[in-house]
């Protein structure tokens, strides 16, 4: 089985979000970048496929040279090989077309992406890839098993979950549940050393569609102070008469 894990390079979850250039660009100053959490669950699930089902695991990221530390981390966790498409990932459609082109050439059986990137929250890259390449697709995937060419997946739905049966090749939009938080791996020294030797191929982007652009950003208005109340009666009264929330 040949697996591609799509890894998005995102600001750490504790990052303060600021903008520069007249609120047109995300300010990366002092920001630590990490593997998108949804992708980290997927990567760990891929490691299990590697260990238990002899899968070969590649990773791919669309981004400038600045994303390589994040890719090296994924290699240190255990991915075998990495591909970087040398382009700014400014638009979900554009990113999906770049990755689709890698997937087509690499004949992967399973493509693991995340439900969404926690920065621009597009939630679209795996689905667009699926439609471009006509792959089977399971979104918000919280469990995945593969036997031969059959895949059984669990997907989260509003208020519950749904079991889905499909066949390879398949692409998923994954999230927590694929593996648990406690299953996530921290790269060890040996992994980090080995990662330095692993192949990281840089390719130039194909000409692709740009469908959207973020013109400007805005930070939420500062919030007024909390109203502290002493009794539940007061709270109910405020919620009813002031906030009109009950």
Partner 1 sequence: MSVLVYTESENGKFKKSAFEVASYAHEVAQKMGTTATAISFNASENESLGAYGISKVLNITSDQLKTFNAKAFADAIEQAASKESAKVIILSSSADTKYLAPLLAGHLKAGYIPNVIAAPESTNPFTVKRTAFSNKSFAFSEITTDIKIVGVSNNSFGIIENKSSTTVEDFSPTLSEKDFTTKSVEIDKVVGKATIADADVVVSGGRGLKGPENWGLIEELADVLGAATACSKPVSDLGWRPHGEHVGQTGKPVASNLYIAIGISGAIQHLAGVSSSKVKVVINSDPEAPFFKAADYGIVGDAFEVVPKLIEKLKEFKAQNA
- DSSP structure class, residue 176: T
Q: Where are the beta strands (DSSP E) in 118-159?
A: 136-147, 150-157
Tokens of 15: 């990052």
Cα–Cα distance between 71 and 3 in angstroms, integer?
16
Give the contact letters, 166-185, x = binds to partner 1 (CB under 8 A), - = no: xx-------xxx--xxx---
Q: Which residues in 53-92 contact partner 1 (CB under 8 A)?
A: 91-92
Q: Residue length, the chain?
A: 246
Answer yes or no whether residue 97 interacts with ligand AMP by CB under 6 A: no
Give the contact letters, 25-44, x = binds to ligand FAD (CB under 6 A), - = no: ------------x-------
Answer yes or no whether residue 11 interacts with ligand FAD by CB under 6 A: no
Answer yes or no whether residue 13 interacts with ligand FAD by CB under 6 A: yes
Q: Which does 44 bind (CB under 5 to 8 A by kind): ligand AMP, ligand FAD, partner 1, none?
A: none
- Torsions phi, psi for 145 (to 5 deg): -130, 140
Q: Which does 148 bind (CB under 5 to 8 A by kind): partner 1, ligand AMP, ligand FAD, none?
A: none
Tell me the three-class secondary structure of 189-206, residue by residue.
HHHHHHHHHCCEEEECCC
Q: Is 233 exposed, middle or buried (0-12, 13-18, 19+ CB in 10 A)?
A: exposed
Give the contact letters, 71-90, x = binds to ligand AMP (CB under 6 A), - = no: ------------------x-
Question: In degrees, to the nearest 5, what angle opens at C-alpha 232 toward C-alphas 226 and 236?
Answer: 75
Binding site for ligand FAD (CB under 6 A): 13, 37
Binding site for ligand AMP (CB under 6 A): 6-8, 36, 38-39, 60-63, 89, 92, 95, 113-114, 116-117, 120-126
């Amino acid at each position: 089985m040949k697996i591609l894990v799509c890894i998005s390079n995102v600001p750490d979850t504790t990052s303060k979000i600021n903008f520069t250039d007249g609120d047109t660009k995300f300010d990366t100053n002092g920001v630590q970048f990490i593997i998108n959490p949804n992708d980290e669950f997927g990567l760990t699930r891929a490691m299990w496929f590697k260990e238990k089902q002899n899968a070969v695991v590649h990773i791919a990221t669309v981004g400038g040279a600045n994303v390589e530390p994040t890719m090296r981390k994924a290699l240190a966790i255990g991915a075998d090989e990495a591909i970087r498409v040398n382009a700014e990932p400014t638009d979900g459609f554009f990113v999906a077309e770049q990755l689709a082109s890698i997937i087509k050439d690499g004949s992967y059986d399973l493509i693991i992406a995340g439900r969404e990137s926690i920065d621009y929250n597009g939630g679209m890259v795996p689905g667009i890839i699926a439609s471009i390449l006509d792959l089977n697709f399971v979104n918000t995937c919280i469990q995945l098993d593969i036997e031969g060419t059959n895949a059984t997946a669990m997907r989260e739905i509003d208020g519950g979950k749904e079991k889905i049966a499909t066949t390879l090749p398949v692409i998923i939009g994954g999230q927590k549940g694929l593996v648990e938080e406690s299953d996530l791996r921290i790269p060890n020294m040996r992994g980090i050393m080995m990662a330095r030797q692993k192949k990281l191929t840089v390719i130039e982007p194909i000409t692709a569609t740009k469908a959207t652009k973020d013109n400007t950003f805005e930070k939420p208005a500062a919030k007024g102070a909390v109203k502290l109340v002493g009794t539940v009666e007061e709270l109910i009264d405020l919620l009813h008469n002031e906030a009109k929330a009950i």
